[in-house]
Structure 1
Amino acid sequence: MEYKIKHAPQLPKKTFITALSSCNNVIIEETSLLTLSELGLLGEFLKLVPQVTVLHSVFQNINQSTHRFGGSLNTQTPQQILSTLQKHISTLRLLEVDGNTPIEKYLNCFPSEKTLLLTDDLYLLQLLGKPTGTLISGNLFNVIEFLYDKEKISKELFHESVASACELGLFEPYMRMNLLHESVAYYLNVVGGVDYSQTRFKPIFTKLFEIKRDSAFCFDLLFRMLDPKKLRTELHPETLLTLFRAFLIRHPIATLSSTIAIWFIRKCLNEDSNKLDLSGRSETHFKHWDEFQSIMMLEYGADIDLKFMFESVVNELLCLKEDVRQRAFEAVKLCFIPTTQESTMFERIYQKISYTTTITRLSEE
C-alpha cells in the first residue's frame, strides 16, 4: 500500500462475531477492501457473510482504477478487488447514497438500522463520530480472527496474516492484547531461545514500537506484551534479551540493566505473595530471580557481581511511588530465604541506597 493509514480499533472477538450475525447492514469501507485484498482474505470473508454493502461510489473508484490510463499507475490491487467482488456479486449490495464527500455518504448509510462498519481508517471513524448503539466498527484483525475461528485459514496462515498486516501501510496497528500475546507465544516460544528478528514476529515488533511512537507508552506496552500470565508461557532469556536490546535502540529511555530490572520487579508484583514454602521463600518468585540472573549473565558475563544485580533492582524500586514501592520491595524479598546471605545483602543495599537517595533529595530542597 502506498500511503499511511492510522489504524482503526479492533473490536473484542466475541463482540465482532455477535455484531456480524446480528447487524442488518455490514459495510466494507475502502481501506478494509484494500487491506483484506492485499492479504488474500477478502474472498474468504465474503463467502461467509450473507450480504455485504459497498458504496456505489467506492465501487466506481475501484473500477476506474483498473484502467491503465484512467486509473492509478499500479492497477493490480484494484483489479484484484474488483475480480473478488464480481465473484460474490450475488451477496454484494452496491449502495447509492447522497453526499458531496465520502464522509457525508457514509453518514447517510446508517441513519437508523444497526450497522457493522469494517474500516482500517481511524480518521474516518473520528470524522463519523464515535461508534454508537447503531454503529459498530471492526478492523482487519477482527476478520483474520473470524476466519481462523471458522477454520477457513490454518493456524500458520492466521499468524502469517497478522504479521503481513503489519507490513501494510498501517500506522500504529491496532490489535487487542490477547491477539498480540498469541503472536508472541506462537513465534517466540522456542526451546533454547531465538532472535526475534529472525522470525515473522519482526514486522509486528517493528510496527508496534516504531521510533515515532511515544516512548513511555511503548515502554509500558513492552512489559504488558511480555506478561507471562497472559502469554501462558515463559520466553527464553536469550529471546527476551533480543527484544530488550531492539526496543532500547528505538526508544533509549533506560539502560538495559534497568529495563531488565523493571521487567523482573513487575513479574514479582504480579505474583501471589501468600504461597510460601517451609523456608519462607516463594518458589515462583525465586524462579523469577533465577530468570533475572540468567538474562543479566547473558549480557554482562557469568562472573557478574551480585551487588550490581541488587543495585539495578533497588534503583528501580526507589523510582516507584511510595505505596507501590513497599509492595514491590516485599515481593522481591520473597525470592530469597530469610536471613540468608542473599536476603541480608539485598535488604542492606536497599536501605543504603534508600538513605542516600533521601539525603540527596532533602539537600536539594
Structure 2
Amino acid sequence: MGMLNKAVIHLQTLRQNALAVKAGLKDGARFNAVVKANAYGHGDVECANALYDVADSFSVALAEEGVRLRRAGVDKPILVLVEPFISDAPLFARYNLTASVSSMKTLGVLNAAARERNAVVSVHIKVNTGMNRLGADIDGAEALAANIGRFKHLKLEGIYSHFAAPEEKAVLFAQRDAFLLAYNRVKLYNKDIIAHISASGGYLAGEHFDMCRVGILLYGYSPFYSDRVRVEPVMSVKAPVVAVRPLKAGERLLYGAEPLKKDCTASVFRYGYADGLPRKKSGALLNNRCMDLSAAEGAFEEIDVLENLEEKARECGTITYELLCGAANRCERVYIR
C-alpha cells in the first residue's frame, strides 16, 4: 500500500537542467553530476539513470552510495568525495570507485585492497585551499603525487578542492590561487590530470577548470542569484488535506498556539516534521508543525510542501539543500519520465 504523501520527480526537468548546465561549460570542461545524499532527496539511482547520457561522471559522498549505483548498472566513473575509511577500501577495488585521498595512509590502504583483487583504483588528491574541512595542504598534495608511483595498484587521475564561498570574490580568488599552486606542482607527475574545484557555486562564478561537480543546480535551485543558467525545480511533495476547519478569532490551532487574531479557514494536512521539513512556522503555515500534521491558511485538497522553497528556507534559517534532502523522507516517490 502506498503512502499518502507523494514526491513527484520530473526526470525530464532534471535532464533539461543538466543539459542547460552542460551547455554553459567552458573550454570542454567535463560535467560531473552530484547524486550524493540520495540525489539531494530525489532518488540517486533514478536520477543517475536519467542523467546517464548527459553526465561524464558522477559524484557521491560515501562508498556505499557508489556501490548502490554500481549494483543498479551505472558504469560511468563515480568519485567518492569523502576519503575512505579503512573498512571501505575493498569496495573501491571491487566496484571500481574513484577515491579522494589526502594522506599516505589512505594510499597504502587502498593499494593493499586493490592488490588483493589485482585491480587498479583511480584516485583524486583532495587539497585544502581554505575551507579547512578535508584535504592535504599544498606541500602534502605534492608529496602524495610524488609518492604515488610506489603504489602499483593506484592511478593518479585528478586533483580537486572546494570553494567555501564562491559568491564572495575575494575568498574565491584566494582559494583559486592556492589551488592553482597545488595543481601546477602535482601536474608534473601527471600532465593529463583532471583539475576541479567548482560545485554549482563555482560553476556560476565561471571557474570551470577541467570539470565541474554540479549538484543543487541539477535539482532546480541556485546557491546564490545568477543569470548564468536557468533551471527549474525537479521535485514537488504533495500532502493530502485531511480536514478543513472554519475557525473564529480567539480559537486555538495545534500545540501551544496563541489565539487566532482573525476568522480564518484552516486546512490540516498530512505532513509533519517527521516527514522531513522543519517544525518552525513558515510560509502559509498556521503555527508550528506537529510531528505528523501541519495546518495552512485556506481551503485546499492538497498542499505542495516545497512550493516557494527558497523563501521557506530563509524563514527557517537554513538553505534549500537541507530542506530538499529531508523533504521526501516519508513519501512514495513517483517518477515522471
Whether the TM-score (by the shorter chain) exceeds 0.5 is no
Give the TM-score normalised by structure 2: 0.27
User: Which of the two has greater strand per residue?
Assistant: 2
Higher RCO, 1 or 2 (CA under 8 Å, sep at least 6)? 2
- Give me the TM-score of the superposition, normalised by structure 1: 0.25
Q: Where is the helix percentage greater, Structure 1 or Structure 2?
A: 1
